[in-house]
Amino acid sequence: PQIKEFRAEVDIMSRMRHVNIVQFVGACTKAPNLAIVTEYLPKMSLYDVLRTEPLDWTRKLSVASQAAAGILYLHHRKPPVVHRDIKSDNFLIDLNYNVKVCDFGLARFRTNATHVATSHNRAGTPGWMAPEVLRGEKFDESSDLYSFGVVLWEMLTLEQPWRDVDPMQLPGIVGFQGRRLRLPPTAPPGW
């Protein structure tokens, strides 16, 4: 199964060509030396940048717009690609603050007839996962958009989502009780 999942990731990445998607260079597909080679983005992830550099609002809006453009590209492919693990760690940033979506290990193509669903529906990182994903239900592109909303919240607050909650409790409180992250009163209008 690991090699099959690896090859699925290589298949998806090799088809992507967009300024806001990390550029696939090549892959070593001979076990046990499985590896994917991509372009190098020296600033690391958005998660790291948010915690090490002050970003002004203009920069934050640019980063958010570029991240959204990458997700939009995935969702408008034929067939659409559902990333399934949208989080600040999966947006890489270069020296000019250009943003690229990365880590397609959980991504899947979606056909028009079905929602993306597997026996492992709870794919992703709990703090960023949509309620339907936390409940183990079928999900599609809208689940990626919920996760992107959590990234926007993270950019606004500079906090890790649900940091004081045990990840095992998130299916209950987010998936079934409907609790959501709160915006601080200092949030700019429209954010």
Say if CB 27 and CB 37 are below 8 A apart.
Answer: yes
- 132, HSE (Cβ side, Cα atoms, 13 Å): 15
Per-residue buried b or exposed e for 126-157, using 16+ beta carbons within 10 Å of the residue's own CB: bbbbbbbbbbeeebbbebbebbbebbbbbbbb
Q: Which residues are catalytic?
A: 85
Backbone angles phi, psi at 173, to 5 degrees: -80, -35
Tokens of 94: 């270069």
Helices (H), 19-140: 46-52, 57-75, 131-134
108 backbone dihedrals φ, ψ, rounded to 5°: -145, 145
CB atoms < 10 A from the CB of 187, how many?
A: 12
In the 8-state DSSP scheme, what is residue 9? H
Question: Which helix H or strand E contains 100, and what residues bound it?
Answer: strand 99-101
Token digits for 1?
């199964």
